[in-house]
Amino acid sequence: MILYRKGAPLRVRRSPAPEPPFWCATTIAPYGARRATPIAIDYVALRASGAQRLEVGVADGVRDELERLRALASPVLIDAADQAEVVFRRGEEVLSFCEEQHLPNVHLLSAHGALPQHASSDSVVVIAAWPDGSDGRALFAEAAARGLRWGAAIPVIFPLTTDLAVLTAYADAARDHGASFLAAVGVEVEATAKQALAQSLHLAADDDRYAMLFHAAVEPLHLATERHIAALAHERGLPDFVVPPLWEERSNWNAATLLTLVASRMIAMELDLDQAGRIARSARAVAELDKPLQRIAESASLSIIGGIDETSAEMLTGWLDGATPSFAEFVNEQWRMMRAPSAEFRAPSDEADD
C-alpha cells in the first residue's frame, strides 16, 4: 500500500562535479526517496529497499520553491520515477520550469511512470526499466512516436535484471525504438529489498537463487552484468552510458563527464587505480574551472592548468579537436565485456563451507 502525503519539501541536491550514472550538477526530486512497493529504488542514492507499506511525500508549490532557490546549475536531473508521477505530475512541473529558464535537463522516469507532455530538445528522457514483464516498452514506443530524445537505463539487481536472454531482448527493443543510449545503473540492494525479491519471485529456501541472494556476494555478478549491458549497447550502435543533454558541446562540464566516466570504469575494473584516481581528480578540477576549456586550449596547452594530469590533458586535447581519445576508447573496450552464460549465478556449496 502507498499513501501520498502532500506538502513535503522539494528535495534539491547539488554536485560540484559530474557523478555517474546521470552526470548532473543539480538533482531535483519532487517526491520522497522511497515511492514504490514491494521494491523501491532511490535513483539519487542508488539504493534499492523493500517495503509493503509506504508514505510518500509529494511536494506542493513546486514553482514557488524553485523560484526561491538560487540559480540552478545545469544540467538538472529531474527524478520523477515511479507511479507517483502518473498521479501528480510534479516532475513535469519541474521540467516546465527548467525549460522556461533554458536549463538542459535529464528527466528520469520508470516503467510505471509517465512521459512528460512537453519536452524540448534540451531535455533527455531516461526510461529506467525492469525487464520482468513491466519493462517500459510501451513507453519506448510512445517516446519514439513523439520524437523525444530518450534512452533506456537498466537498474542491475539479481535476479530480476541479470538474465542474459532478457537483457538481449531488451537491448534489441531499445535499438528498434530509436533509443539514443542504453546504460546500466548499479544499485546497492538492501536486506529489505532482498526479502521482498524472494517473496515476489516465490523463491524457496532450497532454490539456488535464494542461496545466491542471501548467502553469497552478488557484487561481482552485478559488475559483470553492467559490463555485459555495455557490450550489448555497443553491439547495437548505442552509447553505453546516459548521454547528457547538449553532449555535443565542448563544455567544461562535458569534459569532466568524459574524464569521470573513464575513471569510474577503471576503478570498477581495478585497472591502474593510481591513474584512475588522477583522472578523477582532473575531472573535478576541470568542472571547477572559471574559464572555458576551449579558450584555454586555444591560447595555450591544457597542461598549464593546475590539477590536470598528463593523461587527462591528452584525452581532453583530442576530445576538443572532435576526436575520440584513444585512452578513453581503450578503457571503454576493456569495460565492454560479455558475461558468460555459465556466470548466471553460483550458489555457495556445502563443500566450500567445509
Q: How confident is the model at residue 139 (pLDDT cuts 50, 70, 90)?
A: very high
Instruction: Give the mean pLDDT of 126-149.
Output: 85
My answer on whether 107 and 210 are in the same domain is: yes
Reply yes or no: is the peptide bond before residue 220 cis, omega within 30 of 0.
Answer: no
Say if 241 falls within a structural domain.
no
Contact 29, 62 (CB under 8 A): no
| pLDDT beyond 60 at 43 | yes
Final residue belonging to a domain, choices 235, 266, 295: 235
Q: Which pLDDT value is given to residue 353?
A: 45
Q: How confident is the model at residue 351 (pLDDT cuts 50, 70, 90)?
A: very low
Final residue belonging to a domain, choices 235, 268, 284: 235
Q: Cα 19–67–95 angle (5° rounding)? A: 55
Say if 88 falls within a structural domain.
yes
Mean pLDDT of the chain: 91
Say if 243 falls within a structural domain.
no
Say if 278 falls within a structural domain.
yes
Q: Which pLDDT value is given to residue 131?
A: 64
Instruction: Give the mean pLDDT of 73-100.
Output: 95
My answer on whether 133 and 206 are in the same domain is: yes
My answer on whether 51 and 188 are in the same domain is: yes
For the chain, the domain total comes to: 2
My answer on whether 14 and 154 are in the same domain is: yes
Instruction: Give the mean pLDDT of 298-317.
Output: 87
Q: Which pLDDT value is given to residue 281?
A: 96
Write out the DSSP string of 279-333. HHHHHHHHHT-SS-HHHHHHHS-GGGSTT--HHHHHHHHHHHTTPPPHHHHHHHH
| pLDDT beyond 70 at 204 | yes
| pLDDT beyond 80 at 348 | no
| pLDDT beyond 60 at 345 | no
Q: Which pLDDT value is given to residue 47?
A: 95
My answer on whether 67 and 171 are in the same domain is: yes
My answer on whether 227 and 256 are in the same domain is: no
- Rounded Cα distance, 214 and 194, in Å: 7
Q: Which pLDDT value is given to residue 127?
A: 96
Q: How confident is the model at residue 4 (pLDDT cuts 50, 70, 90)?
A: confident
Segments forming the whole domain that contains residue 92 = 2-235
Final residue belonging to a domain, choices 235, 270, 292: 235
Q: Which pLDDT value is given to residue 205?
A: 87
Say if 354 falls within a structural domain.
no
Q: Which pLDDT value is given to residue 303?
A: 76
My answer on whether 50 and 132 are in the same domain is: yes
My answer on whether 185 and 328 are in the same domain is: no
Say if 77 falls within a structural domain.
yes
CATH number assigned to the domain comprising residue 306: 1.10.150.110
**Burial bucket for residue 226 (CB in 10 Å: 0-12, 13-18, 19+):** buried
Query: pLDDT (tens digit, 9 = 90+) per residue, 235-250?
Result: 999 999 999 999 999 9
My answer on whether 222 and 325 are in the same domain is: no
| pLDDT beyond 60 at 350 | no
> How many other CB atoms are there within 10 angstroms of residue 170's CB atom?
24
Say if 108 falls within a structural domain.
yes
Say if 350 falls within a structural domain.
no
Strand, coil or helix: 40: strand
Measured in whole angstroms, the distance separating CA 148 from the mean position of its chain's CA atoms is 18
**pTM recorded for the entire structure:** 0.93
Contact 325, 303 (CB under 8 A): no
My answer on whether 188 and 280 are in the same domain is: no
- Percentage of the chain with pLDDT > 90? 75
Instruction: Give the mean pLDDT of 151-164.
Output: 94
Instruction: Specify whether the backbone of 31 is left (phi greater than 0), alpha (psi in -120 to 50) or beta.
Output: beta
| Selected residue with higher pLDDT from 306 and 197 | 197
| Selected residue with higher pLDDT from 1 and 228 | 228
My answer on whether 225 and 294 are in the same domain is: no
Contact 166, 134 (CB under 8 A): no
My answer on whether 256 and 230 are in the same domain is: no
